[in-house]
């Protein structure tokens, strides 16, 4: 494989939901003896969740697109991987593939305008269109534990697939904003870090050695970390974690059946290192915490209003104190995190969307116009700061999505045969 192998299978930008469904349907129609496309569930808003199965060997591999709706690169990976595997029987000899196009269709629908219209995105266009739901509204983080049972319809659809096929490997296609590639896994997998490093070098991508999400997690190799059980997984209902997890993940749930769960992360932008002292990083976050708090406090929510973006902005703002504690506890690894600048921008962007929504219903409110103008000024100022500091450079989708396709194939090929636990494969009919 070379860095150009998968380029013909990858478009110029991630697909929208409609484009994704159309492409998966096209692949199934072109390869009716190889592919089976079916609906596995519906989202909270009634959008379909579809899965393309490509039968083959006894080793079952599940791949999930868009576990977080502001991470669209995986949406390009799914059809590229599907078409490649359908056209290359050698990658079906040992593996039966199950490819879920999108884990969070409703969240993606709230994001897709920014990548369908301005790819590659700018910092401003990305954050103006940002929607990142709170953990309890994320299908990826609402798998059940002994103390968490508020699973979402999307999560239950994924649970049903995992329970039925018992994948030896589940790959949830995550993404990040800036920096390098990295990964989390449900168990210590010695082959993960070397494969990741080799492919990152091949695709010209840096490896992120200490991502913010992984501070405090056990390392299993450079850029690879052990995804520890979430709070309450062992029955401790009082468990708490600064990561903001609601329940378990697809990786944890796969591990219940003896399979390996992997989260490979890939960035939208390459970036310069953030050079702040611990004191400076904490100062940036403290200032952002007060600014966001003031913006939210300046608005009195109207009864029965649509508050999705406001709720998400509040949840994003609540991460900031945990980030400050991380820097205080681990100043060496916590201070240089791009999220010091990015998390406040996410909160401001979703607040701006909230005020845009309210103004659409009440365009003559002077208070809302003032709040929107203030929020927009804050967002633009923070975007300018991030651009000057991080100097983000968009990475070609052929490299980032190609890397994830290659990593999925490499992990599927190297996984030992004895881990193949799948027990069921749907018939080759398209619905």
CB distance 251 to 184 below 8 Å: yes
Tokens, residue 139? 């299908």
Give me the pLDDT at residue 417, please: 63
Residue-wise pLDDT for 39-91, tens only, equals 999 999 999 999 999 999 999 999 999 999 999 999 999 999 999 999 999 99
Give me the pLDDT at residue 233, please: 60
Confidence of residue 238 (pLDDT cuts 50, 70, 90): very low
Residues 6+ apart with CB under 8 A from 254: 62, 162, 167, 169, 170, 186, 260, 261
What distance in Å separates the CA atoms of residue 106 and residue 17, rounded to the nearest whole number? Answer: 10
Residue-wise pLDDT for 145-195, tens only, equals 998 999 999 999 999 999 999 999 999 999 999 999 999 999 999 999 999
Around Cβ 305, how many Cβ atoms within 10 Å? 13
Give me the pLDDT at residue 212, please: 87
Could you give phi then psi for residue 49, rounded to 5 degrees? -115, 120
Strand 48-54 to 59-64 pairing? unpaired
Query: Alpha helix (H) ranges present in 118-246?
Result: 123-128, 153-165, 192-202
Give me the pLDDT at residue 3, please: 80
């Amino acid at each position: 494989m070379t860095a150009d192998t998968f380029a013909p299978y990858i478009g110029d930008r991630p697909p929208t939901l409609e484009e994704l469904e159309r492409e998966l349907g096209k692949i199934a129609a072109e390869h009716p003896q190889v592919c089976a496309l079916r609906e596995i569930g519906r989202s909270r808003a009634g959008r379909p969740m579809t899965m393309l199965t490509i039968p083959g060997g006894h080793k079952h591999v599940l791949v999930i697109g868009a576990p977080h709706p502001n991470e669209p690169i995986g949406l390009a990976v799914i059809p590229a991987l599907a078409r490649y595997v359908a056209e290359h029987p050698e990658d079906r000899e040992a593996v039966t593939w199950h490819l879920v196009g999108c884990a969070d269709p409703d969240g993606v629908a709230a994001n897709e305008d920014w990548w369908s219209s301005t790819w590659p995105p700018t910092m401003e266009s990305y954050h103006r269109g940002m929607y990142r739901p709170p953990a309890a509204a994320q299908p990826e983080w609402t798998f059940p534990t002994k103390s968490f049972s508020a699973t979402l319809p999307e999560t239950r659809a994924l649970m049903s697939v995992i329970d039925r096929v018992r994948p030896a490997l589940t790959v949830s296609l995550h993404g990040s904003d800036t920096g390098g590639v990295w990964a989390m896994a449900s168990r210590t997998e010695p082959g993960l870090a070397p494969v990741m490093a080799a492919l990152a070098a091949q695709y010209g991508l840096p490896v992120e050695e200490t991502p913010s999400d992984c501070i405090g997690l056990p390392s299993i190799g450079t850029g690879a970390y052990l995804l520890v059980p979430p709070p309450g997984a062992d029955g401790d209902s009082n468990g708490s974690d600064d990561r903001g997890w609601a329940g378990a993940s697809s990786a944890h749930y796969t591990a219940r059946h003896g399979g390996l769960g992997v989260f490979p992360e890939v960035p939208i932008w390459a970036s310069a290192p953030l050079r702040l002292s611990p004191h400076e990083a904490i100062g940036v976050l403290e200032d952002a915490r007060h600014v966001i708090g003031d913006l939210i406090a300046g608005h009195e929510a109207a009864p029965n209003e649509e508050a999705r973006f406001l709720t998400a902005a509040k949840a994003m703002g609540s991460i900031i104190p945990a980030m400050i504690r991380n820097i205080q506890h681990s100043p060496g690894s916590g201070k240089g995190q791009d999220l010091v600048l990015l998390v406040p921008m996410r909160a401001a962007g979703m607040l701006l969307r909230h005020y845009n929504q309210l103004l659409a219903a009440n365009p003559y409110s002077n208070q809302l116009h003032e709040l929107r103008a203030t929020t927009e000024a804050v967002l633009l100022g923070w975007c300018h700061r991030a651009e000057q500091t991080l100097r983000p450079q968009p990475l070609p989708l052929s490299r980032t999505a190609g890397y994830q396709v290659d990593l999925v194939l490499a992990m599927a090929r190297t996984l030992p045969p004895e881990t193949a636990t799948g027990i069921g494969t749907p018939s080759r009919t398209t619905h």
